[in-house]
Amino acid sequence: MAEVFSLHLLLSSTNQRASPPSYKSLNSAKTYSKSTASVPASRKGRFSVLKKTQKLNLEVSPHRAVSAVRLMRIELGGAFADLLNEKGKGSGDNEMGYVERTLGFRTRDLEDRDLRLITDIVGGTIRWRRYLDHLISSLCHDKSFSSMEPLLLQILRIGFYEIVKLDMPPYAVVDENVRLAKVALRPGAGNMVNAILRKLVLLKEQNSLPLPKLEGDDRTQARALATLYSHPVWMVRRWTKYLGKDEAIKLMEWNNTDPSFSLRANAGKGISRADLEEKLNSLKVPYELSLHLDDFVRMKTGLQIVIQAGLLKDGLCAVQDESAGLIVSVVDPQPGEKIMDCCAAPGGKTLYMASRLCGQGMIAAIDVNKGRLRIVKETAKLHQVDSVVTTICADLRVFPETNTETYDKVLLDAPCSGLGVLSKRADLRWNRKAEDMEELKKLQDELFDAASLLVKPGGVLIYSTCSIDPEENEDRVAAFLLRHPEFNIESVEKYVPSDFVTSQGFYSSFPVKHSLDGSFAARLVRS
């Protein structure tokens, strides 16, 4: 996965991200942690499927075989869903290599249609996992579900998702998934898949799927909503508390939709948005102009085409959500300024800020992860902004003890829950736990205090997250100001459209309201 991870950082280094994996105080709350915690031990030990005689099997649906293996890699192997869905599109042979090593056979080569289906099925199956598992467990004995081997479970999840959410021809879905189970496992597994999927088809046709009713006390309703909209119960209860039930439902519906992506034209390389439009038009990729940022376009489909055409690899543009771009607007980098970007990797905001310096000034990107910083440096060179970017490998919490420099502006894009980016990070909802929040808040406070020491008198400290949770956002700023009366809030109204400005003068994007990732930023001036 190291190669895939590096490719991800290179091509989508401007994506929003939640907490980096390298802060030791986040051991129980890693954004990129392996998702085996939720998998019964009886399944973990059965990840390795018995190898069969390696051969070409033209009868097995290739997109289903690849999807099943991908889902196992994500759930049991610690792979990242967003990397697979974005970067695996152009590597059909690599995908089939994973199938051959895991299942012992290859299918026919993947076509473009197969690759699109894999993206839809993998992302959708992860998003709807709780919902699908409820249906599967309802149609077989609970004991059978709890002890089900991983590959069989993934095949059933795929079949259920295709029938219930994609509305594919039901009996074709049954036949294809039965064949996969028989070839990849054994005839008896195929018979089980056949019986369960046919029962599902019948219940769907009768409009009698065994779904929970939204009734009872708050706890019971939260569990029902968690199943119906496929989110952890603790998230449902948290959002219901802060947003109300109706808004919580709208947020979960947003998280379950296929994400859109934004591209930023790389001004550092002299590429304007008009130039990017010309490239996209020549590739016949549909897009819309950003309503908020002059360098950005938004696209719902076609990222695979952009990747294959080399636009990202050549540094002509970068994948970056507009919400991240608006945080850079809050920073308002100006030529000649000295800026510190804390917790900088994978470097999306670093690169965007660097492009706005127009070759004058300096951005110091500090991060605790040496490998990810190396990618930041390489990508800065690719984007031709390396003349203003330096990297520092250090833990921000202890860095000020030996550092004497101060900066005009300091951006702390803090490790967070990532609750604002669940549409793009389909797997993140299952990797987060309620108890992570307290540990994250403690880390955020520590980093906040450390970052403040790097701001020169009269300088600006910007605190930002990709979370929509007030305890990570407004509450952290309020707690910081109590500890640091030398800082005062400066409203962001001069830097972002008024629709993103809160009553307290903070920047906030909300997925349902703005059709962007959720994010937050506060601009604080040191007296």
- Which residue ranges make up each domain of the chain? 62-206, 218-256, 261-319, 322-526
Cβ pair 247, 512 in contact under 8 A:
yes
Higher pLDDT, 51 or 255: 255
Element spanning 83, H or E: helix 81-87
User: Which tokens belong to 302?
Assistant: 């076609």
At 34 the pLDDT is: 32
Least confident of 60-69, 109-118, 325-334, 421-430: 109-118
Query: Omega before 346 cis (within 30°)?
Result: yes
Cβ pair 397, 450 in contact under 8 A:
yes
At 148 the pLDDT is: 92
| pLDDT confidence bin for 79, thresholds 50/70/90 | low
Q: What is the pLDDT of residues 430-465, one digit of tens each?
A: 999 999 999 999 999 999 999 999 999 999 999 999
pLDDT at residue 190 tops 90: yes
| pLDDT confidence bin for 82, thresholds 50/70/90 | low
Bridge partners of residue 106, in order along the sequence: 56
| pLDDT confidence bin for 13, thresholds 50/70/90 | very low
pLDDT at residue 40 tops 70: no
In the chain, pLDDT over 90 holds for what percent of residues?
76
Provide the CATH topology of domain 62-206.
N-utilizing Substance Protein B Homolog; Chain A (1.10.940)
pTM of the model: 0.87
pLDDT at residue 260 tops 50: yes
At 112 the pLDDT is: 79
Helices of type H across 185-244: 187-205, 218-228, 233-243
Q: What is the pLDDT of residues 293-308, one digit of tens each?
A: 999 999 999 988 998 8
Please tell me the distance from the alpha carbon of residue 504 to that of residue 359, in angstroms, as a whole number: 34
When pLDDT is averaged across residues 8-33 and rounded to a whole number, the result is 39
Provide the CATH topology of domain 261-319.
Alpha-Beta Plaits (3.30.70)
User: Which tokens belong to 66?
Assistant: 């690849």
Please tell me the distance from the alpha carbon of residue 476 to that of residue 472, in angstroms, as a whole number: 6
Domain 322-526 has CATH 3.40.50.261: no
pLDDT at residue 499 tops 80: yes
User: Which tokens belong to 385?
Assistant: 């902004």
Active site residue ranges: 466
| pLDDT confidence bin for 92, thresholds 50/70/90 | low
What is residue 260's three-state secondary structure? coil
Q: What is the pLDDT of residues 192-237, one digit of tens each?
A: 999 999 999 999 999 999 999 999 999 999 999 999 999 999 999 9
Which residues contribute to the annotated binding site for S-adenosyl-L-methionine?
A: 343-349, 367, 395, 413
At 168 the pLDDT is: 94
At 4 the pLDDT is: 31
Q: What is the pLDDT of residues 464-491, one digit of tens each?
A: 999 999 999 999 999 999 999 999 999 9
Which residues contribute to the annotated binding site?
A: 343-349, 367, 395, 413
When pLDDT is averaged across residues 82-102 and rounded to a whole number, the result is 64
Please tell me the distance from the alpha carbon of residue 68 to that of residue 151, in angstroms, as a whole number: 7
pLDDT at residue 48 tops 70: no
At 94 the pLDDT is: 77
Residue tagged 């299942």 (tokens)? 103
207: left (phi over 0), alpha (psi -120 to 50) or beta: left
Least confident of 56-65, 123-132, 233-242: 56-65
Q: What is the pLDDT of residues 349-401, one digit of tens each?
A: 999 999 999 999 999 999 999 999 999 999 999 999 999 999 999 999 999 99
When pLDDT is averaged across residues 43-70 and rounded to a whole number, the result is 72
At 453 the pLDDT is: 98
Cβ pair 335, 360 in contact under 8 A:
yes
At 91 the pLDDT is: 57
At 197 the pLDDT is: 97
Maximum C-alpha span of the chain = 73
Q: What is the pLDDT of residues 265-288, one digit of tens each?
A: 999 999 999 999 999 999 999 999
Element spanning 521, H or E: strand 519-526
Q: Annotate 454-520 with DSSP letters as a single string.
A: TEEEEEEEEEEES---TTTTHHHHHHHHHH-TTEEEE-STTTS-GGGB-TTS-EEE-HHHHSS--EE
Strand pairing class (407-413; 455-465):
parallel
At 175 the pLDDT is: 97
At 413 the pLDDT is: 98
At 163 the pLDDT is: 97
pLDDT at residue 155 tops 70: yes
At 142 the pLDDT is: 66
At 59 the pLDDT is: 87
At 98 the pLDDT is: 86
